Amino acid sequence: MNRRSGAWRRLLKPLILGLAIAPVSGACRDAPTGPELKPLTLVWQDEFDGPAGQRPDTTKWVPEVGGSGWGNNQLEYDTDRPENASLDGAGRLAIVARREDYGGRAYTSARLITRGRYQATLGRFEARLKLPSGQGLWPAFWLLGSDIGTVGWPACGEIDIMEYRGQQPKTAHGSLHGPGYSGGQALTSSFQLTAGAFDTDFHVFAVEWEQERITWFIDGIQFKTATPADLPSGARWVFDHPFFVILNVAVGGNYVGPPDETTVFPQTMLVDWVRVYQAAP
């Protein structure tokens, strides 16, 4: 029986939320964290409930439409069509990359942001995801500084909670970008699965963002921490203002290279939920 359907989902949801919150304040932490994260309260979420084919909730998500390459030489045209981003009817969002001619590009996909809908400073940001695979696929779950329109990138700051090369289905990465430590010079660490792969099951990707400390987790396992002491000499810590959330699946780009003859389309990133926790007032 599908645990995310109908009456069973309504009965289980409080239990699921309780289980999700419990490790945040307990054993999954491998290092002390600041008072901003104790205790944590669920303050924003999307569980993606709804009928199959329904578009993402427009009170929470805005599709960024275009095929400019997004500064990374990406090859897809990101659309606002349900063919590229819609609910699957089982309590999940499906972001689908397709091989098709559209808007002058050979691929389509979707890029969803909460800019203008939700932004936050500090807290725990997490999502339960099942990733696509294949050469040239580049899914990501990340945060971007809301002041990007005035200060530009990378001065606005960027927190990559999860990014992943589809040709390396057992490895995920967490990164921090800012002025003097962006692009190929970002502060980056990787996480390697010892069993299975990120395209065969769901995994929980999270950051805990505190004053002058950001910590990355996969399935409750801490694998990276960044503080101002880790920055290059003279670089600024710019993670002290609101950020918004982004979910996307890029095709091609500097980070992954283009698809090749081995890449199968369509490819889908399934998003079970996205949740944000912050300290109680």
- Residue 101, CA distances (Å) to 11, 73, 108, 166, 259 in order: 44, 17, 8, 22, 15
Task: Say what the pLDDT of residue 39 is.
Answer: 87
Measured over the CA atoms of residue 130, residue 247, residue 153 and residue 256, the dihedral's sign is positive
> What pLDDT score does 22 carry?
38
Distance of CA 65 to the CA centre of its chain: 18
Q: What was the pLDDT predicted at 34?
A: 44
For Cα atoms 181, 185, 187, give the angle at the middle one, nearest 5 degrees: 70
**Residues recognised as catalytic:** 158, 163
Q: Distance between CA 264 and CA 160 in Å, rounded?
A: 26
Residue ranges of domains in the chain, CATH in brackets: 6-279 (2.60.120.200)
Three-state SS for 276?
strand
Tell me the C-alpha to C-alpha distance, in Å, between residue 68 and each of 10, 140, 231: 42, 18, 31
pLDDT tens, N- to C-terminus, the chain (281 residues): 333 333 333 334 333 344 343 333 333 333 334 444 568 999 999 999 999 999 999 999 999 999 999 999 999 999 999 999 999 999 999 999 999 999 999 999 999 999 999 999 999 999 999 999 999 999 999 999 999 999 999 999 999 999 999 999 999 999 999 999 999 999 999 999 999 999 999 999 999 999 999 999 999 999 999 999 999 999 999 999 999 999 999 999 999 999 999 999 999 999 999 999 998 77
What secondary structure does DSSP assign to 186-252, as a single string? SEEEEEE-SSS-TTTS-EEEEEEEETTEEEEEETTEEEEEE-GGGSPTT-----SS-EEEEEEEEES
**Rg, C-alpha atoms of the chain:** 18
pLDDT at 280: 78
pLDDT of res. 37: 54
Q: What is the pLDDT of residue 18?
A: 40
Instruction: Tell me what pLDDT residue 25 has.
Output: 34
